[in-house]
């Protein structure tokens, strides 16, 4: 939620105009929030910061204000996903102190802002916005009178903040520095030659810097064009960072649209390559084997996540049940307080999070850890908070995902979790070695299977989407292993095409939901090649069709059973374990093309942000 970027440079040392570099970075952060945006800079010799900001999309604001043309070599910028205060010009970041000598950008929520604001108003500070963020520059201003040192005032301010924050601050007092602090909201540094960046995410500066330091909770400090200083706020001492500098291998194409109309369709098409990378990661080190050992030793296993990642976690719980006969409790991360009560030493929690920063998942992790449980993370972002705080980190290695709707990261989570479940089932005796090898062989073949699937299904999905785009409600039904896929299909459609979509176990639809079905109502059946095939096609499909529903199936049918469906999105026949790998892609395409047919931007769904760092 919200993207921040800052750049400080020696004049003349940057490959492009500094404000243009920041503007480009801001555009790459737009997936984090896009209801308003702004830029603050310190023009050479100025005694005030210059702030340009407003409500609207970054491109529109660029036309209005010329973000990319501001003067100065020390610049911070922000793209907002509103929490406190409506998206308005005034509430947009950056925010300043009374004397406009400093500007800050913030991602997160300051929980104690009401008390702080009152205290500051009583001391005569004048607030102009409704945001929680605005207390920060005023508090620093207040402390600066006392300490006469901007960094000390900044540090002391951060110490009183409660909640989550990633902050970047510029001040005319020390005009070549950007001060930063992080707690429970992501923040990274990008190192250049004669310039340095601070940002919410790596793609923001990837065009200009591949040397990255991922900041940790309670770290504060500053960058100058040639230096980095990091301190641990809790220990009150500086932190060595040279061993933490990582070189990022992603190409800028990974974080660009590369000729596609949207990131989402590019990322759907990238899935075969992403799966290849996941497989290389799985077979390239022994962390999956270590995870199996931890799981074999567990009294109880839980899996938690949010949104799409939860669907992957739910799939894992079904696999463990079916392949190994081992129950795994899946729960939605924001409900952790219900489940953590029963957690104890000997339990294992698996946390699935592509970003590794989702606050609900992080809170679940911390609650279980506190009770002595061991935690295994599955994430796409190396060094992010969730893998860092876990006992063992597994990675999907799908590359950066910029589209707000998760696509390639879901498929790679499914592959990684299938691998984990099969390895566990083999080790615990649920699968023989030939059975396990058979499934692993198909998992290894999944990049090829998905490449072929794209050409098999794209046109059909596109045609169906034209029709779907005129509908207002859709059901996604399945049984067993197909259910997480149905849930994922429904989530994709509602989040980017704004069509009401619900997923149900097909058998459950008779117990209420079928009341909504009338002539022409679309029902999408996810049809896995498992034992439930006949129940689905001869039972549930017929029930729906008898009420006028149009039955669409994602299926690999070569038999007469296929005739039961009105429209088939064909997928290759594989072992049932691979169902999410084969059946999800057609549903992603339907969501994408339906959104496009409705004239919507699938990369920027309303009200959503890619990483949810508020509870």
Q: In whole angstroms, how far apart are CA 538 and each of 445, 509, 550, 560, 583?
A: 31, 15, 15, 11, 20
Closer residue to ligand F6R, CB minimum distance, 176 or 502: 502
CB of 417 to ligand F6R, least distance (A): 13
Reading the block at residue 408, the tokens are: 């390639």
| CB burial readout 599-608, b (16+ within 10 A) else e | ebbbbbbeeb
Which of 27, 306, 477, 569 lies at the binding interface for ligand F6R (CB under 6 A)?
A: 306
Which of 277, 556, 588, 611 lies at the binding interface for ligand F6R (CB under 6 A)?
A: 611
Task: Report H helices in 96-215.
Answer: 113-122, 135-147, 150-160
Q: Which stretch binds ligand F6R (CB under 6 A): 142-150, 352-360, 423-431, 565-573?
A: 352-360
Residue 30 exposed, middle or buried by CB count within 10 Å (0-12, 13-18, 19+): buried
Closer residue to ligand F6R, CB minimum distance, 164 or 529: 164
CB of 610 to ligand F6R, least distance (A): 7
What residues between 42 and 101 interact with ligand F6R by CB under 6 A?
A: none
The phi and psi torsions of 150 (rounded to 5 degrees) equal -70, -40
Strands ordered across the beta sheet of 473-478: 500-505, 473-478, 522-526, 550-555, 567-570
CB 478 within 8 A of CB 490: no
Closer residue to ligand F6R, CB minimum distance, 137 or 307: 307
Closer residue to ligand F6R, CB minimum distance, 62 or 254: 254
Residue-by-residue DSSP string for 252-266: GGGGS-TT-S-HHHH
CB of 199 to ligand F6R, least distance (A): 17
Which of 385, 587, 612, 613 lies at the binding interface for ligand F6R (CB under 6 A)?
A: 612
Q: Which stretch binds ligand F6R (CB under 6 A): 67-75, 215-223, 302-310, 337-345?
A: 302-310
Closer residue to ligand F6R, CB minimum distance, 406 or 464: 406
354 binding ligand F6R? (CB under 6 A): yes
Q: Which stretch binds ligand F6R (CB under 6 A): 238-246, 301-309, 392-400, 502-510?
A: 301-309
The set of residues, in sequence order, having a beta carbon less than 8 Å from that of 444 and lying 6+ positions away, is 279
Quick note: the x/- pattern for ligand F6R over 515-544, rule CB under 6 A, is ------------------------------
What residues between 396 and 415 interact with ligand F6R by CB under 6 A?
A: 405-406
376 binding ligand F6R? (CB under 6 A): no
Considering only CA atoms, which of 244, 224, 208 is closest in space to residue 171? 224
Which of 355, 396, 412, 446 lies at the binding interface for ligand F6R (CB under 6 A)?
A: 355
265 binding ligand F6R? (CB under 6 A): no
Show which residues are catalytic.
2, 610
307 binding ligand F6R? (CB under 6 A): yes
What residues between 460 and 499 interact with ligand F6R by CB under 6 A?
A: 491, 495
Closer residue to ligand F6R, CB minimum distance, 131 or 613: 613
318 binding ligand F6R? (CB under 6 A): no
361 binding ligand F6R? (CB under 6 A): yes
CB atoms within 10 A of CB 523: 27
Instruction: Return the DSSP state at 512.
Output: T
Question: Within 13 Å of residue 205, how many CA atoms lie on the same side as its CB?
Answer: 34
Which of 196, 308, 326, 582 lies at the binding interface for ligand F6R (CB under 6 A)?
A: 308
Compute, in degrees rounded to 10, the torsion defined by CA atoms 38, 50, 23, 220. Answer: -80
171 binding ligand F6R? (CB under 6 A): no
- Cα-based angle 613, 614, 615 (whole degrees, multiple of 5): 125
Q: Which stretch binds ligand F6R (CB under 6 A): 49-57, 258-266, 303-311, 516-524?
A: 303-311
- Locus of tokens 């504060």: 220
Reading the block at residue 19, the tokens are: 């404000």
Which of 36, 131, 358, 465 lies at the binding interface for ligand F6R (CB under 6 A)?
A: 358
| CB burial readout 75-93, b (16+ within 10 A) else e | bbbbbbbbbebebeebbbb
Which of 36, 131, 309, 412 lies at the binding interface for ligand F6R (CB under 6 A)?
A: 309
353 binding ligand F6R? (CB under 6 A): yes
Q: Which stretch binds ligand F6R (CB under 6 A): 134-142, 283-291, 355-363, 472-480?
A: 355-363
CB 165 within 8 A of CB 614: no
d(CA 472, CA 460): 20
Closer residue to ligand F6R, CB minimum distance, 455 or 607: 607
3-class SS of residue 574 = coil
Q: Which stretch binds ligand F6R (CB under 6 A): 107-115, 127-135, 350-358, 415-423?
A: 350-358
CB 183 within 8 A of CB 198: no
CB of 148 to ligand F6R, least distance (A): 42
Interface residues with ligand F6R (CB under 6 A)? Answer: 306-309, 353-355, 358, 361, 405-406, 491, 495, 611-612
């Amino acid at each position: 939620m919200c993207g921040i970027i800052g750049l400080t440079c020696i004049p003349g040392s940057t490959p492009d105009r500094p404000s243009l570099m920041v503007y480009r970075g801001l555009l790459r952060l737009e997936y984090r929030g896009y209801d308003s945006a702004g830029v603050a800079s310190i023009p050479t010799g100025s005694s005030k910061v210059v702030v340009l900001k407003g409500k609207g999309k970054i491109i529109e604001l660029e036309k209005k204000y010329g973000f990319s043309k501001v003067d100065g070599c020390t610049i911070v910028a922000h793209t907002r996903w509103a929490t406190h205060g409506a998206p308005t010009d005034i509430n947009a970041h950056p925010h300043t102190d009374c004397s406009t000598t400093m500007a800050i950008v913030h991602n997160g929520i300051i929980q104690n802002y009401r008390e702080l604001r009152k205290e500051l108003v009583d001391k005569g500070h004048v607030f102009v916005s409704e945001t929680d963020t605005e207390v920060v520059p005023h508090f620093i201003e207040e402390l600066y009178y006392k300490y006469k040192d901007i960094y000390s005032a900044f540090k002391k301010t951060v110490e009183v903040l409660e909640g989550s924050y990633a902050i970047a601050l510029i001040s005319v007092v020390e005009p070549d520095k950007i001060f930063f602090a992080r707690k429970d909201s992501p923040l990274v540094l990008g190192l250049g030659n004669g310039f340095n960046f601070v940002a919410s995410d790596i793609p923001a500066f990837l065009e200009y810097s591949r040397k990255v330091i991922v900041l940790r909770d309670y770290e504060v400090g500053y960058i100058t064009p040639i230096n980095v200083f990091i301190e641990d706020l809790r220990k009150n001492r500086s932190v060595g960072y040279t061993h933490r500098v990582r070189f990022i291998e992603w190409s800028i194409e990974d974080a660009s649209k590369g000729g596609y109309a949207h990131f989402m369709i590019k990322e759907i098409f990238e899935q075969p390559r992403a799966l290849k990378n996941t497989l290389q990661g799985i077979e390239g080190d022994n962390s999956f084997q270590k995870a199996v050992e931890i799981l074999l030793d567990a009294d109880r296993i839980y899996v938690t996540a949010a949104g799409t990642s939860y669907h992957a976690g739910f799939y894992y719980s079904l696999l463990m049940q079916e392949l190994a006969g081992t129950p795994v409790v899946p729960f939605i991360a924001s409900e952790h307080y219900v489940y953590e009560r029963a957690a104890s030493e000997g339990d294992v929690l698996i946390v699935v999070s592509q970003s590794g920063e989702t606050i609900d998942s992080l809170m679940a992790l911390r609650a279980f850890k506190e009770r002595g449980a061991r935690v295994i993370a599955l994430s796409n972002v190396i060094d992010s908070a969730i893998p860092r705080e876990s006992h063992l980190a597994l990675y999907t290695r799908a590359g950066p995902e910029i589209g707000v709707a998760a696509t390639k990261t879901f498929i790679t989570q499914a592959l990684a979790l299938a691998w984990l479940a099969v390895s566990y089932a083999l080790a615990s005796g649920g699968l023989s070695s030939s059975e396990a090898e058979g499934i692993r062989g198909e998992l290894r073949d999944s990049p090829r299977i998905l490449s072929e699937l794209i050409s098999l299904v794209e046109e059909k999905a596109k045609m169906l989407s034209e029709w779907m785009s005129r509908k207002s409600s859709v059901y996604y039904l399945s049984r067993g292993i197909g259910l997480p896929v149905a849930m994922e299909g429904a989530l994709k459609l509602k989040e980017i095409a704004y069509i009401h979509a619900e997923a149900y176990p097909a058998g459950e639809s008779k117990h209420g939901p079928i009341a909504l079905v009338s002539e022409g109502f679309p029902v999408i059946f996810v049809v896995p090649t498992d034992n439930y095939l006949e129940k689905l096609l001869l039972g549930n499909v017929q029930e729906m069709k008898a009420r006028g529903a149009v039955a669409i199936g994602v299926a690999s049918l070569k038999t007469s059973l296929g005739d039961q469906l009105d429209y088939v999105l064909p997928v290759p026949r594989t072992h049932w374990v691979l169902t999410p790998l084969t059946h999800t892609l057609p549903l992603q395409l339907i969501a994408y093309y339906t959104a496009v047919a409705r004239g919507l931007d699938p990369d920027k769904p309303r009200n959503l942000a890619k990483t949810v760092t508020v509870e």
